[in-house]
Structure 1
């Protein structure tokens, strides 16, 4: 039966047959056999086979400990093979990356189209919010559930909330009479059927107290009073009820201290502790007995005697008038035991009410302790007569010759001659004391001996340095400031002259002394700072900057006369410095002395014949005083003797202001032929040609200027603005684009092109340009301020905070934030919250950072006109006049107008504050 051969053996299998397919086997193909391979995607028996290939492979052939090849070693060849296969996988993945990402993107877009976000559904509505007017914003009602409010109103009377039982029980207990008493440490008692009214107990207690006080008052008339009725209630209130824990602690401490004093009866702190324990426990009589025993056992301890004296006067309300005789006797016994104790003598004097008795006790103490400074001071302070005080001080300095304070006090009470003798004697006894030398200088200053002040201080500094006890310059500077505060100005100056150069290198003297003067000014020591400047100028007379600082110091902290004295000396030592000459001439002119200013400038010409600054200052002096012919002659001479671009430029401006347009053009052309790289010639000439209607010539002039002066930002800006006024926006864009390429990272050019697009209505393009500008100039305050202005009002606050983080102290950012809070028409945050002072602080910071910008002052003044007082408005005007601003977009535009050449700073401030743009 087993020899039968099956008919299928040796025969060809059916098409698509795979041996062991039902047991999980898979087919394969060879060169000779094509057909066994098949797609198993649709076969239910093999549906999960392909999905688990990687997992099954890892389990059977993986690198972990459970794989088929786990026991084989991992060689260098295996590592190389893995790297090759990894590179192949990466290459294949890279080939399919674009197709995979494209498919993922399509699926994501399809999903978002089918399931849009809520915020995307309302994006068109949110964009329309920017078109709402201010009234529409204000009319938006508050969010609320109107239906719920109506239902609440309708059913308000129909609702009922049950009261909890605990509330009813507490209400009942408030009105009933307590029938039990719970005392701490006792038992709660109650009598059945008997109600105890605690209120009656209180009333009965008050009646008993009143009866006792009446009895005491009755006994007072018979002279047998045992209780003070006025202090009875007070003493009852002062009783301290101790708890059980506190009483236990006191008892333990009492036992410990008793053990201490019995073991060592000569230990003074033990007796003091024992007395204080009894005092805390309220047993004052026992405390006195304990401390009295301590005085017997420790008679040489002053602390024990002082504690005993304190306890004897503790129960008196007025310790200054009611002193028990026991305390006096106690201290008398104390000073017999310890006659050298200064504290006991002073305490004994305090127990006396009579000044004469006090003096006697202190003088008796000085017999035993003649070298006690405290006893001498106490005794001298009791002397009301100056002569007696002087005698006491004379005795004090003999007993204690090393105390400087006593010597100085004695010198103050002596006459001039005797004071000199006293100070000389003090100097011999205290050779290392600088106070005695300073006191001697003050004594001579009181007699107006200025030379002796310098001599004494110089000798004192040298003597102290020789003895090795000299002070450094900082301490001497502090002493000089102290002398200034006491009114001794000559001594202060003498100290500065003698010590300000100590330890200072010659190369650092100027900067060191300037810093010292600044520090003194900050501390309010004006005379000390003036003395430092005077010594510095005497030592370094050829330093122009030092003279200028000294002049400004006198202008701010001194008088005009003092300033002119400094400048008069300055031009003698520095005649080539035109700044000092001009400063002196300006001060003389501002004081109303026109002829004096002319004479100063004429002297300046002798020393600086070819200095253009002197010539232009002389021209300005004559021109602003309406001396037109004199000004014209000065300009003619200046062009001959001080030929410079500024002189020709001033000449062209002068002719333009006089209405001589052709002459002004000629001046500009001559200037261009001489100084091609001076950009202001092209600017003035181009503006004049535009004013006369020759636009083509103006374009040519600006183009020539841009070729010769490619780095002049105002020149590029004027050329672009000319094209904007002629509606040539494309040409203006090209000009600004070329300017930005030649001058990168210039925020002024970016601002100009952004405003150009805003004027043309291209808001989106302007925002795009602003973003590029901030990428190129991320910390430009001008651009950040413009970005705040272009933001919608809902996001301006956040943009302002971001701008403040980027820039530390930029005036443009501060100003635009202040404008936001002050000129906002509806959402006036500062006005709604009544924080006008904070808005004022922003403007104050702005003008403090950049006081030379007139636009900032104009915004500040406009704010004060709207919300400030007349005093605050005048304060802004005064500060602006003092700052004398020269820059600012609107400020310069107004000032450089020929019609406004005679306007003062106040008039300019008034006008510019009225033409400021709104926040929008």
Structure 2
């Protein structure tokens, strides 16, 4: 036995004043076994337990005992969420010195934190109050302007105000018949004010006599009378004082920023009666601005604009007329005055303006615009040119009105007066003959040696007259001349000029500019990426010659880069001609003979053009450069099989199996025999292929599909099962096996097979989709919904699952589900296509067409989208729209899609073209309104 040593405190007496659990808020108690008969709560405590002082109350002399603290009010109204019942959480413990210091520290922290945020809080509160008052003005503020106008009401007008009648209904008058009052006339009130009747009662607050209004009061004489007009006068004086305070008492200049103030007032537009006060304030402030600073033109313009907005056009004209007198040298004021006047009076105003400011170009142009007849416009502009001969804007306006011969004479004078205007020199060169235009441009280069537009115009001139060699020479000389004159060559600016030249038809100038500036400012390491980016930019702005020139220059510098050749080939395929594409590809294979895709593009181009021998020649040459290339072998086989040369295709495949034996070559060989209905030979080739490549899933699928075509579905199931043992990760193989089992009525096996497939491929959306469709086909809609829920948890971003889930819902819930799908898969073609079909079911034709176009734009390779789009146009579109869909589909060359592949890979359609496959697919599709 192991003896345990007792603790040191066991058996020791209890310390003085000890209470068990007092630190946790507990209180001690005694029992009958301790002291005999139980004692009352108010008894004096045991002498061992001393009195403990607690936190002092507001009266420092009061000492709170423990028993008094325990006497708490446990009512719910006394409960605090933070402090509990009756006060602080720690009110039962002693309040010591360190507690007091802690309270002082926390109080100081709170005070400091409150001070740090005080200014920001007060500023935010002021802004909120101001915003609230602007949005919800008081009635007093709304009627402030009207009350201010009461100062102008005369005594006679007050006396002529009619008395208010009783507009209540008979029923309302009957209900309040007991409370009927008669309004007192103003004359009676005036008479009462003239009297000196006093009330001799004693005021209980002061003990003095309280006078009646108008009687003797301290500080007033007996002759003082109450007059309502005094209120208006005093108010007017008060407003005058306020407005005067806005101006500097020394210089008289306003302290209000006139520009910002007038700009804000330009946006004033009275929307309701609540704006009346604002309009009154605006008028007063603008009047103050024009009085304190009458030489400030924008103030007069803003004041007139305010009256125009409020509909007082005549008042606006009078105000702006005063502004013209106050600021006679401000063209903005004169232009505003011209704008506010009628066309007849505007001519007189602008005539006064040009006499006052004869150097103002804008006023002369406005005067010419006001003239209706062309001859009068010419007179005005010529008069203007006499006063301002160096104005380019006036010369332009004058030239626009002249015939070519007169314009040439006018421009000859214009370039003498404005020798630094490039536009005038260029315009003159365009009107001159070829020889004179060259002389004009030479003079322009002498006058303005730092401008590039003159050089570019010279290059365009030479190109227009077929001087091809001079174009590049001029551009090169332009760059060197500008550099010698200290002009920095801005590469982006020059490329933009090249884009403009391309759009204007100057192709050679565009190419010369590109070759001249493409390498300026580009680091050697980033030349390739920068040039490809420039080409993309040119394509986006439809400057195709510019893009072609960039690709040409890039290929000159990097002739062995396959990527640049491919980008250039795709560009020519989309925007060029077949001849330009073939020329490019011929150069490409010379520099990159190992690039199989370039050889194949050349052969396909020849084949599509109907030149089958030319395509064979290209493929034979590619064999020499790329011996035993699988792609080239298969391309040659396809060329021969598409042109009914089956024997040559067989021999090519036999040679390919010997020299470049791959699983794909074996598969293509078996497929050719299968398409030609040689099933025995196809099976033999598949058998040999599976011996060499047992892990190739496509060979197992072909074997099973051939058995299905022969009607031997049990053998097909066996083939699929054997393939799944070899290729358990092949999702299409699992799907094919499930479909065959379903066709045989073995639903349980099909479900189990899909479960097994999902264990092998847990994140395969296709297997989950097939499981949902299986349950739907069996009528288990609730089970299908449960499986779909699990599927979306496993594959939350799968578009095919969301697309199926939308139509799995009831019709009212489909819109909500489609919103969730778009939130998860915004750019998925399956979801977008499903939304288009939803609009189709609701007969929203324009919306459906818009979403179909969006689907084919997001993924042009999705054949199902093209099929449904064509089906939709067959139902709602016209012949032109259907042809457009077919042409776009042929250009896109789709290769994927569940329903598309079911048609395109059908052995009966192995020679069908894309447009034919599209028509067949559309005929097999069911409109969504029928599902």
Equivalent residue number for residue 873 of structure 1: 882
What's 2:656 paired with?
638
Asked if 1:552 is matched to 2:573, the reply is: no
8 Å CA contact 1:59–1:67 kept in 2: the answer is: no
Partner SS, residue 886 of structure 1: coil
Partner-residue secondary structure (3-state), 1:711: coil
2-structure distance, mates of 1:455, 1:611: 47
1:744 and 2:762 aligned: yes
Sort the Cα spacing of 1:285 and 1:531 in 2 relative to 1 into closer, same or farther, 3 A.
Answer: closer
Q: Distance in 2 between matches of 1:795 and 1:725?
A: 32
What are the residue-to-residue correspondences of 1:716-755 with 2, within 5 Å?
716-755=734-773
Residues 183-215 of structure 1, C-alpha deviation per residue, up to 9 Å, x if partnerless? xxxxxxxxxxxxxxxxxxxxxxxxxxxxxxxxx
Label 1:695 to 1:74 Cα distance change in 2 as closer, same or farther (>3 A): farther
After superposition, residues 316-715 of structure 1 pair within 5 angstroms as 317=344, 334=355, 371-374=390-393, 376-377=395-396, 384=403, 386=405, 389-692=407-710, 698-715=716-733
Match of 2:129 in 1: none
Q: Which residue of 2 aligns with 1:843?
A: 852
Give, in whole Å, the separation in 1 of the partners of 2:73 and 2:353. 107
List gaps (5 residues or longer) in structure 1.
1-25, 34-54, 76-163, 169-242, 823-827
How far the C-alpha of 1:649 sits from its partner, in A, is 0.7
Select 2:904's aligned residue among 895, 898, 901.
895
**How does 1:269-280 map onto structure 2 within 5 Å?**
none
Name the SS for the 2:440 alignment partner.
helix
**Structure 1 residues 645 and 166 mapped into 2: Cα distance closer, same or farther (>3 Å)?**
same
Distance 1:715 1:495 in 2: 58
TM-score normalised by structure 2 residue count:
0.63
340-349 vs 764-773, which moves further:
340-349
Confirm or deny: 8 A CA contact 1:60 1:67 kept in the other structure.
Answer: no
CA displacement at 1:642 relative to structure 2: 2.0
Query: Corresponding residue for 1:777?
Result: 795
The alpha carbon displacement at 1:741 in A equals 1.8
What displacement does 1:651 show?
0.4
Shift of 1:650: 0.2
How many Å separate the matches in 2 of 1:412 and 1:598?
53
Cα deviation for residue 342 of structure 1 reads: 6.3
Structure 1 pair 365/600, CA: closer, same or farther in 2 (3 Å)?
same
Q: Distance in 2 between matches of 1:715 and 1:254?
A: 88
- For the 8 Å contact 2:297–2:333, the answer to whether it is kept is no
Alpha-carbon distance in 2 for matches of 1:278, 1:636? 95
Contact 1:362 1:379 in 2 (8 A): yes
Between the two proteins, the alignment pairs up a number of residues equal to 686
Corresponding residue of 1:107: none
Deviation at 1:883, TM superposition (A): 2.1
Give the 3-state SS of the residue equivalent to 2:526 in structure 1: helix
Name the residue aligned to 1:797. Answer: 815
Residue 625 and residue 343 in structure 1: after superposition, are their counterparts in 2 closer, same or farther (change >3 A)? closer
CA contact (8 A) 2:863 2:897 kept: yes
2:55 aligned residue: none
Distance 2:332 2:86 in 1: 92
Write the distance in 2 (CA, Å) between the matches of 1:283 and 1:792: 67
User: How far did residue 754 of structure 1 move?
Assistant: 2.4
**Aligned equivalents of 1:255, 1:853: Cα separation in 2:** 71
Tell me, what secondary structure is at the counterpart of 1:795? Answer: helix
Q: Distance in 1 between matches of 2:302 and 2:797?
A: 71
* 8 Å CA contact retained: 1:489, 1:527: yes
In 2, the alpha carbon distance for the partners of 1:74 and 1:731 equals 79
Look up the match of 1:883: 892
After TM superposition, the score normalised by the length of structure 1 is: 0.64
What CA distance in whole angstroms lies between the structure 2 residues aligned with 1:305 and 1:60? 82
Q: Following superposition of structure 1 onto structure 2, how do residues 220-299 of structure 1 map, counting pairs within 5 Å?
A: none
CA contact (8 A) 2:300 2:319 kept: no
The answer on whether the counterparts of 1:853 and 1:887 sit within 8 Å (CA) in structure 2 is yes
Q: 1:493-517: CA deviations, max 9, x gaps?
A: 2111212333233343333333333
Q: Is the 8 A contact 2:415 2:425 kept in 1?
A: yes
Alignment deviations for residues 536-560 of structure 1 (CA, whole Å, 9 cap, x no partner): 3333332323223323323332322
Does structure 2 conserve the Cα–Cα contact (< 8 Å) formed by 1:551 and 1:567? yes
Q: Distance in 2 between matches of 1:284 and 1:900?
A: 81
Where do 5+ consecutive residues of structure 2 fail to align? Answer: 1-28, 37-66, 75-83, 97-166, 172-275
Structure 1 residue 613, shift from structure 2 partner: 1.0
Deviation at 1:404, TM superposition (A): 2.1
Q: Does 1:73 align with 2:94?
A: yes
CA distance in 1, matches of 2:554, 2:464: 26
Give how far 1:713 is off: 1.1
What is the RMSD computed on CA atoms of the aligned residues? 5.1
Residues 270 and 661 of structure 1: CA distance in aligned 2, closer, same or farther (over 3 Å): closer
Question: Could you tell me how far apart the structure 2 residues matched to 1:668 and 1:366 are?
Answer: 92
Asked whether the 8 Å contact 2:304–2:317 carries over to 1, the reply is: no
* Contact 1:604/1:614, CA 8 A, preserved across alignment: yes
C-alpha contact (below 8 Å) 1:758/1:766 kept by paired residues: yes
1:852 to 858, 861, 872: 861
CA distance in 1, matches of 2:571, 2:792: 42
Q: 1:268 to 1:553 in 2, by over 3 A?
A: closer
Q: Can you list the C-alpha shifts for 1:343-372, whole angstroms capped at 9, x where unaligned?
A: 788799999999999889877876776544
Give the 3 Å change call, closer, same or farther, for CA 449–816 of structure 1 in structure 2.
same
Three-state SS of the structure 1 residue aligned to 2:912 is coil
C-alpha spacing 1:709/1:424, structure 2 compared with 1 (3 Å):
same
Measure, in 2, the Cα distance between the counterparts of 1:820 and 1:349: 60
Answer yes or no: is the 8 Å Cα contact 1:305–1:331 preserved in 2: no
Partner of 1:909: 918
CA distance in 1, matches of 2:534, 2:550: 8
Q: Deviations over 1:723-746 (max 9, x none)?
A: 333333333333322222222211
